[in-house]
Structure 1
Amino acid sequence: MARADLLLALVRSGAGGDELAFRRAAEALIAEENAKKHKVLASQLSDALTKRRASGATVSPLSRPQESAGLFHEIEPMRRLTDLVLPSLVRQSANGLVEEHHRRDLLRSHGVEPRHRVLLEGPPGSGKTTLAEAIASEIAVPLLTVRYEGLIGSFLGETASRLDALFSAVRTRPCVLFFDEFDAVAKERGDTHETGEIKRVVSSLLLQVDRLPSHVIVIAATNHAELLDRAVWRRMQIRLSLPSASRSGKIEWLRAWSTRTGVVFGKTERTIADRLRDVSYAELEDFATDVQRRQILGGFDSDPASVTEGVLKAWVNRARPDTDG
């Protein structure tokens, strides 16, 4: 059964002629039915909302599937927050966000919505994408990663039009909408080197983000926070900085990964972390998976220490290429 507050909001806004409030209540109702796997009802409600505009109302139409095709990549998230090595403040903030969405009904009973706009900044490989996936996993919603090759067009107004299709497609489903390399579409509008088209895209993007309901969690990640438009910072309710992988962080990550997978390195985590001192968390996961792969192919009789040493030598050479030539 639909939430009583949504039905009440729908009737009140419809009776009062508040089209924006009506649309938001209707989209939240559709999202709830989608979350319950009531696909037929959700589709019928979407069609009814789309037809409402044709009758003269000012409600924006929901995008058709073909309009949003190629604009995002959807995955079912598998990682958990407990799998990640995070600074204490980052972990606390992430857990707080998850709790807000798990207990959103309590918040809404007091007229408060859970936060749903997050900015992650940090160097490549610091775990921004992994954190976005873990948040989606903890809230039990799909992770939708924006595909810039499908979003950014070469003609005037094309990118803004595709942005409209993207946001219309996600408005009625609980999800995490992930923008990696967010500076690609949200650059500072005061930059004199940028074209008027880019500035219009940024304005359209920020407006769309503002209008999203709280069941769509926008997570934007960037390696270059200094390039972002200042208005982006104001709109993000949670702003987190992920540092480069530290020695202690790598040791913790290796221990957790070994416990989770059952793979024995045959060498101490400290030794591995010291020899891979220049790698990121993302690269460290690639290294650990390489070890696991070689152990599987080598059979159960293979010596873990020898396998790890062979992979370590390859990685050390890869991390420090010979520059004499």
Structure 2
Amino acid sequence: MNMPSEYTALPPEFMQAHPALSLLRLAALSAGPEGILDDDTLELMFEQVETGALTLIAPSDVWPELVRGLMANTPSNMFRALFASGALAEVLPEVLAVFGVPQIADNPPEVDIGQHLLRVLDEAARCNAPLAVRFAAMAMHVGKADSPPEHLPVHYRHVERGRPRIEAMCARFGVPADCRELALLALVECERIHRVGEVRAGPVAALLERIGAFDRPQRYAQLMTLCACDYRAYGGRAAQAYPKGVLLERALKACAGIDAAAPGASAETADAVQEARAAAIALAFRSERWSG
């Protein structure tokens, strides 16, 4: 296909004075309507990368172009263009590193993390998710790039490896605080949310507390949107309701009449609130653990 129509609107002086920015802008615009780049364009981009153009651009100037692509209709197209031109290794080496790395799944039994990441981003765009969700989708797997081969497709201790990498990415680009916070939260909690069940009401109550369900509803909603996008990015789940999201909403509604502990309350009071929430969740789930 041809270059994106928006690209032709860039003034020639911009193209000449900012070759690296023009490369990134073209990749970002490829995520919009009619944006898939043809081979000749990708070859020109590759040649620019080979000349070292991207080494001359400040990360703070890279970030707006990444945002432009992340917030477009098909973010995966930007990453494919960056990958094909060699620019992804210069701009987001942490993300490039997860391509080709396997992760356990249901059907098929393994997925390529990088390819899965692209599907999650496009699902987030389909849901009109905010930037924080899309950034977290891009960043939350970076600790899995160098998992010990003997453990694959399982990724032990990826949280410990992922945290400093996400923090470094955020510092490098000057990422907004809400994006950083959600990415770090998703790093720790997304897979736990995927595994949540009805059997143990206490851990469900504790999970809801950790992810802000009681006191930070916006952050909770964003995390659940991300988890739903991650779930639907696996084969055969497109447009399906997210079962764990439904489950946690039942648990949250069951706790609606239980007031949170006041700031500075004693540990005993906080424990009593958690116990009351767990009991309410158990009743909603009809959990045998709490049936007495």
Question: Larger % of helix: which?
Answer: 2
Q: TM-score, normalised by structure 2?
A: 0.34
Which of 1 and 2 has higher RCO (CA within 8 Å, sep 6+)?
A: 1
Q: Kindly name which structure, 1 or 2, has the bigger radius of gyration based on alpha carbons.
A: 1
Q: TM-score, normalised by structure 1?
A: 0.31
